[in-house]
Structure 1
Amino acid sequence: MNIHILGTGAVGCHIGSVLRAHQNKVTLLLRSTQHVNDFASRNNTITYRSQGKTSLVSGFESAHLASATDNSPIGSLVVATKAHHTLQALSPVASRLSANSTILLLQNGMGIAEELQAKFWSNGQESPRILVGVNRHAVERMGPYDICHYSGYEDADGLIIGEMPSSSGNVKHEGKSELLETITHIPEFQAKQLPWKDVRVQMLKKLIINSCINPVASVLLTKNKGVLSEGGLNVMHNVCEEAYAVLKDELPGETMESLMELVLRIAESAGENSCSTLQDVRGQRLTEIDYINGYICKLGKERGVQTPVNQTLVNLIHAKEVLYTQ
């Protein structure tokens, strides 16, 4: 099996490094010939830092994402691009995916899988098997193909994966996914498969965690642990309160207090990590904020729940983006 990876930020490099360390064939789909040449100049190697050790993981293959000469089928694809880049990034290889293919989405925020189905596999077309992962591994991109893995390798819920139902509500794919089997059998991933309804609950919890930590850390320009100041805690409490009001019917057994405890636990355990939104702000890139706090605001509007604090944070992050994108 050849596992293709789309997106070589922190998450893509982490998944690729661990897969390669277990002798899997991995091909990175890169944005341009220049990126392919740059990776080759680094001997097709990713620098992986974890638990005080540094490893040079080699043996990757790479390919230009939009190569007009490669029409070979893609059987297993891990998508680790930013949420707002997914549709554009996947377009060049969508024709190489079939009902026999498996896609694993590993991104922050929610709504991406639904967008893919509507864009590429609507009107009765049978889509690839779409898996969605809830990833609690804290990984920071230190530089091109250079990452530091802070936490998640000892978390029993480090990576939870579920198969998204088809748009008709029924999963049509039969048999096991080779990609899923491979990932769930690698101890470092702490990965397991759950039914879709359980995965969606985990997705919503991760959404609340990200909506609390990411924008606050990005406004304060701090690592995760920096949000635990009095002011940061007050803002996160307000964010969590709004999010719970929007999502409480989909989170049975949870309270605002239990969700806030989860947020604080993650902020502490991944305290040395810089969240993905802050990494984007520092790299002067557009962020995923519309798929995190923006998604909560969207659902709030649909459900008649006011979300002024979440909307203010969306506005602040977009204001930061304007400063360096214009």
Structure 2
Amino acid sequence: MGCLFGSFLSEKHEVVLLEQNPERIDALNQNGVTVEEADGTRRHYPMKAVMSGTPMPGVELVIVFVKATVTESALETNRALLEEADVLTLQNGLGNDEIIEKFVGKEHIFVGTTRHNCVVTGADSIFHSGNGVTKIGSLCGNDKRAKEIVAAFAECRDGMLFCENARRLLWEKLFINMTLNSLSSVLECRLYEIYANPHTWALTGKIVDEAIQVAAADGEVFEKKLVLDSIKKLCEDAKNGFASMVQDRRAGRKTEIDFINGAVVKGGQKYGIPTPVNETVVEFVHAFEESDRVRDKLFE
């Protein structure tokens, strides 16, 4: 997703990608980023990439796309960039803003969600499998700066919107993640299969039921039908895409499940609301993580 948004924004702004893999840094600097669209068209974007932790003066905005599991370590490595910069998280899950607050003040933290979806196909290439709106807001009322960030994004792409209620925005994205990410990870299926399979769709409804109760206790009221309609639409719009958690499993990476369905479980514990379905989903994903690791060792 960093490559995708970096490509968009590079049309009007100076963009630098932060990477940890030297081979990928070389590939990006030499070849740029190739974005393949769902209709088969391809577009090439020249790009600059540097090693994470490289000092760069004058950075105005740091956009965080790393997995929630490594947010703190990534920000610690790049602490010098944060001295004068605002930070925008477009990550999955709840709680990333709380981690970012360890490094910058609330007034410099902005949160957002996006319906864009992509799959890495090479060191310098991605497949843009899903398109949609991106919403950005401030959790502490710094709407002026949030609107400036949205305007900068809008110079490069349509569908960039300001959101006044940023907390609700995060819950809206969480409903997508807690169903599509977790279930597609367990089943290793494409997004459209979540809706097409009546059993996974029934399970989706049960996951959402629990989360709606927790969200209401957290101050955000949602209607189940509208939530399910939103999930269904994304299944249709990005039907051939894979959720990021599927890609994590295949790559042997730790998933973000504790920041997604785990956030519902944590909220349930806070407000005294039972969340047995989400608890089971969390354990299933962790079980697959462990079994994948053990299986790899058995066949070494």
Tell whether the structures are fold-level matches, with TM greater than 0.5.
yes
Aligned residue identity for 2:135: I
* Distance in 1 (alpha carbons) for counterparts of 2:2 and 2:17: 9
From 12, 16, 24, the equivalent of 1:27 is: 16
Aligned residue identity for 2:231: V
After superposition, what is the alpha-carbon deviation per residue over 1:214-233, rounded to whole angstroms, capped at 9, x for unaligned? 11111111001111211101
From 76, 81, 84, the equivalent of 2:69 is: 84
Preserved contact between residue 28 and residue 47 of structure 2 (Cα < 8 Å): no
Structure 1, unaligned stretches of length 5 or more?
A: 1-10
Aligned partner of 1:141 in structure 2 is: 120
Aligned residue identity for 2:288: K
Aligned partner of 1:218 in structure 2 is: 185
Q: Mapping of 1:156-167 within 5 angstroms?
A: 158-165=133-140
Aligned partner of 1:272 in structure 2 is: 240
Sequence identity of aligned pairs in percent?
26
3-state DSSP of counterpart to 1:104: strand
* Distance in 2 (alpha carbons) for counterparts of 1:55 and 1:286: 31
Q: Mapping of 1:68-217 within 5 angstroms?
A: 70=55, 72-98=57-83, 100-117=84-101, 119-121=102-104, 126=105, 129-152=108-131, 155=132, 158-165=133-140, 171=142, 179-188=149-158, 190-195=159-164, 198-217=165-184
3-state DSSP of counterpart to 2:281: helix
What is the Cα deviation at residue 185 of structure 1? 2.7
Preserved contact between residue 216 and residue 232 of structure 1 (Cα < 8 Å): yes
Preserved contact between residue 141 and residue 147 of structure 1 (Cα < 8 Å): yes
Aligned residue identity for 1:66: G
Matched, 1:316 2:284: yes
After TM superposition, the score normalised by the length of structure 2 is 0.89
Preserved contact between residue 139 and residue 167 of structure 2 (Cα < 8 Å): no
After TM superposition, the score normalised by the length of structure 1 is 0.82
Aligned residue identity for 2:153: I
Larger proportion of helix: 2
Preserved contact between residue 103 and residue 128 of structure 1 (Cα < 8 Å): no
* Distance in 2 (alpha carbons) for counterparts of 1:109 and 1:302: 17
Q: 1:265 to 1:56 in 2, by over 3 A?
A: closer
After superposition, what is the alpha-carbon deviation per residue over 1:281-326, rounded to whole angstroms, capped at 9, x for unaligned? 1222111111110000000000001111111111111111113345
* Distance in 2 (alpha carbons) for counterparts of 1:276 and 1:241: 23
Matched, 1:283 2:258: no
3-state DSSP of counterpart to 1:160: strand
After superposition, what is the alpha-carbon deviation per residue over 1:46-103, rounded to whole angstroms, capped at 9, x for unaligned? 1101142443423211211134xx36342221111111111111112112322x4121
3-state DSSP of counterpart to 1:204: helix
